[in-house]
Amino acid sequence: MSIEVTRDKAIGTIRIARPEKLNAMTLAMYDALGQAFVELRDDPEIRVVVLTGAGERSFCAGADLTESIPALASDRFDISAWDPAHLKGVAFYKPIVCAINGLCIGAGFEIMLATDIRIAAEGAQFQLPEPSMGFVPAGGTLVRLVRQIGYAPAMEILLTARRFSAVQMKAAGVINQIVPAAEVEKTAFAVAEEIARLSSSAVQTIKEAVLTLQDLPLDEAFAAEAVIGQRTFTSEDARKGLSAFAARVRA
Among the listed residues 130, 183, 208, 236, the single catalytic one is 130
Among the listed residues 45, 56, 110, 208, the single catalytic one is 110
Task: Give 249: exposed, middle or buried? Use CB within 10 Å, 0-12, 13-18, 19+.
Answer: exposed
Q: Is 4 among the catalytic positions?
A: no
SS3 94: coil
Helices (H), the chain: 27-41, 68-73, 107-112, 141-149, 151-160, 166-172, 184-196, 200-213, 218-233, 236-250
Q: Is 194 among the catalytic positions?
A: no
| Count of CB atoms situated within 10 Å of the CB of 18 | 22
SS3 118: strand
Query: Catalytic residue numbers?
Result: 110, 130
